[in-house]
Structure 1
C-alpha cells in the first residue's frame, strides 16, 4: 500500500491542512471548519490527449503511470518539440478504452496514435465516446471546451424542439384515405402485367 501526504488549503476557511491518503478511495475534511477538502479515487490508468507544436494534430493514447511523466518521456524520443498534456480521462480498463477511442476516431488517424483533430474537438469527442468527465483539463483549453459543449447542448435542444413543432400537419385527405381528386396509382400486379412481354398471339390482335 502506498501512503501519500498532501498539504492543501481549505477553500472555505483558508486554513492549511495536511492530509494522509492511504486507501484507494479516500476523502478528507478540514480540521478547522469540517468542509470537504478532497475526495480521492484510484483508477487503473488514463486516456490522454497531448499536443506538440511541431507535430500535426493531437496524440491520443493511454498510460497506467503519471501522465505528465509520460509526456516528458515521449518528448525525448527524437521527435522535435515537446508534448504537453491537454486532457486526461479516467479508465479502469485503459487498453480497452484506448482501442475504443482509436476505432471511433479512425477516419482522422494520421499515425499510430496521432489524429488530425484540433485539441477542442478531440477532447469533446473522447468525452462523448467514453461517457466520462476528464480528471485533468489544461486551463488554456478549459473555456473553449466548455463553450463547445454548451453549443452542442443548445443545438440538440433546438433540434428536439424543431422535431416536436415542425412535424408535418395531416392533410384533410390523410384521415379518410387517398385523395379522391387524383387517380389511383396502378397496383403492383398491373405494373407487372404492363412490363411483362406480350405473347405472339397477343401482338397479332392488339
Structure 2
C-alpha cells in the first residue's frame, strides 16, 4: 500500500528531507548542551532515525531501513557537520527549520501508520506506531541530552497531537478503503498545518483538572 501513495523516488527524497531536518534539531540541541563533535553526530543520528528504527523493530522489518540505505545513515552526518560549523547561522533560521520539521512530522506520521498496517498491525496499533515514527527520535534525543522530553512538557506547543490527527486520518481512510495519494496527502497537510498553527498561536494541551500541585514549575 505504501508504494501506491508515492513513487519510490519521491518517497526516498521526502524521507531524506525529513531526516535532514530532524537531524538538525538534534545537532542544535547538542550544541546548546556543549557536546563535542561526536555527541553532535550521535544526537543528529538518533533524532533523525530513532522513530523509524523503533517502528521497524516493532513490526519486524529488519534490518531497519536506516541500516540498509546508506543515504538514510549519512544524511544526519551531513546535518551534524552543517551545524558544527555554522550553528550560529542555523540558529538564526530556526523558524524555517521548525517549518520543515513540521512537514517531516506530517510525512512520517502518515508513512509510519501505513507501513505498520502493511505489516499486519491493527488500525489502533498502526496509529500508535505512526505517532512513534514521527516523534520517537525527538524523545530519544531529549532523553540522551538529559532533558524532559518536549513531548511531555506542558509549556511546549502541541507536537504529538498533530501527528495523532494525521495518523488517525490515515487509519480512517484505510478502514473505509479510501486511502490514496490525495487522502494521504491531505493527512500530511493536516498534521503539518496543525503543527504550524500550534507554533503560531502557542496551542498547548490542558493540564490536570483543578490542578493543586506543590511541585515547582520549570
TM-score (normalizing by structure 2) = 0.26
Q: State the TM-score, normalizing by the size of structure 1.
A: 0.27
Hey, which of these two has a bigger chunk of helix by percent? 2
If you compute each CA radius of gyration, which structure gives the higher value, 1 or 2?
1
